Amino acid sequence: MKRSPLLIIAIFSLFAQTAFSSGLSDEKNDAKKDFSDASVKIKFYDRTVYYTSAAQDNPVYVTVSIENTGSQTLRFKLADDRAFSLDFVARTIKNKVLPATENLIMKRSVNQTVYFRELSIEPGEAYSFVENVKDYIKFDEPSIYYLELKFYPELYKSKYIELVSNRLSLEIRPSPSAANSLILPVSEENGLLLKPENISPDKVVEQTIVARQKSLWNQYFLYMDVQEMMLRNSQQRRRYNAASADERERMLKNYKADLMQNRIDSDIVAVPEQFSIENTSYGQNEGTVTVKEWFKYPNFHEVKRYIYKVRQRDGIWQIYDYSVTNLGTE
């Protein structure tokens, strides 16, 4: 009984020392190991809207799965600090690789002991965990990036042995605070600075429709995700994805101007004489608000049912999509 603790300590120390050492003999032994039956896949853990904000404020969580596709037991090492087991690589559409975070660079530059576990997974099984991509990569500019992962089954010290994952498309948008600082919305009624409030989805839709009835455009756009509304058009989405940050800003301004002139998406800017909220349904981050709206013509009213899709971000609900059904006339 007295030997057990010593044995555990001895094994743990060996693992720590092996992970930290980088001798030639270790490299030769690592090279003999076969990881051809190991597959690494990544997917978004809870895909949402991503910004250039800090890692803690707006994380990009990705699920990493290591699968045994062979017929024999797969064994690999996994560091307690995942920074010594993997790398995320993000490229621009021009194939430029984004830099690593300062914290990651510093962590790997310091002389330290790396603790790890040696895992075994049987054929057909997989081992998964979740990582925040922003802990590894700096996203300073809003753009479309192509993301992949490199997994080191013998740890970072033996990074010449790597398993490369599938590729994901990742869109990083300007941070809401930065975007709002370009043009500050002001109330047309009293000149006061407008600021979105934490109100329920039905109130968001109600205030948006009322703002349109009164032609108060700043209030109308206050709870609307203008970018998502514009990207409902597939052609606009392709143009936007290929555009620079300045070009994207111009596209959004032009889209808002076209809405205000009733040149596009006439259904969303149509002015109802009256409306009635029929149903509101929402969860933690997504929801719908169903509204019956009446549009006045000289001899009749046209009746339509709108379903507004809403999404919550930083405690604020925004309209990002909609559909319309014609109900006839009255």
Residue 242, domain member (yes or no): yes
Whether residue 66 sits in one domain with residue 206: no
Residue 108, domain member (yes or no): yes
CATH code: domain of residue 286? 3.10.450.50
pLDDT of residue 299: 92
Residue 151, domain member (yes or no): yes
Cβ neighbours for 70, distance < 8 A, ≥ 6 positions apart: 36, 37, 38, 123
Whether residue 293 sits in one domain with residue 154: no
Whether residue 222 sits in one domain with residue 137: no
Whether residue 164 sits in one domain with residue 30: yes
In angstroms, the Cα distances linking 26 to 21, 22, 154, 162, 171 are 8, 6, 10, 16, 40
Residue 55, domain member (yes or no): yes
Last residue of a domain, one of 121, 151, 173: 173
Last residue of a domain, one of 173, 203, 223: 173
Residue 223, domain member (yes or no): yes
Whether residue 155 sits in one domain with residue 30: yes
Residue 29, domain member (yes or no): yes
Give the chain's domain count. Answer: 2
Whether residue 124 sits in one domain with residue 199: no
If phi > 0 it is left, if psi is from -120 to 50 it is alpha, else beta; for residue 4 that is alpha
Residues 4 and 12: their CA atoms lie apart, in Å, by: 12
Q: Which amino acid is at 308?
A: Y
Task: List, in sequence order, the alpha helices (H) in the chain.
Answer: 3-20, 24-31, 102-109, 176-182, 201-213, 217-222, 226-230, 234-242, 245-260, 266-269
Which of 110, 90, 111, 112 is closest to 100 using CA atoms?
A: 90
Residue 178, domain member (yes or no): no
Last residue of a domain, one of 146, 173, 200: 173
Q: What is the pLDDT along the chain (330 residues), one digit of tens a residue?
A: 444 433 333 333 345 544 444 444 455 455 557 898 999 999 998 777 788 877 677 889 999 999 999 999 999 999 999 999 999 999 998 899 999 999 999 999 988 888 999 999 999 999 999 999 999 999 988 888 999 999 999 998 888 899 999 999 998 887 654 444 444 455 555 555 667 888 999 999 999 999 999 888 888 999 999 999 999 999 988 888 888 877 888 888 889 888 988 888 889 999 999 999 999 999 988 999 999 999 999 999 999 999 999 999 878 899 999 999 999 999
Residue 11, domain member (yes or no): yes
pLDDT of residue 192: 58
Residues 138 and 89: their CA atoms lie apart, in Å, by: 10
Tokens 């690592």 correspond to 30
Beta partners for 74? 121
Residues 246 and 41: their CA atoms lie apart, in Å, by: 34
| The model's pTM | 0.51
Whether residue 228 sits in one domain with residue 140: no
Whether residue 189 sits in one domain with residue 108: no
Cβ–Cβ < 8 Å for 216, 189:
yes
Whether residue 201 sits in one domain with residue 145: no
pLDDT of residue 275: 94
pLDDT of residue 178: 43
Q: What share of the chain is helix, strand, coil (3-state, %, to 5)?
A: 30, 35, 35
Whether residue 246 sits in one domain with residue 196: yes
pLDDT of residue 206: 94
CATH code: domain of residue 97? 2.60.40.2360
Give the alpha-carbon dihedral of 212, 217, 219, 221, to 10 degrees: 100
Whether residue 291 sits in one domain with residue 162: no
* Domain coverage including residue 282: 183-329
Whether residue 169 sits in one domain with residue 211: no
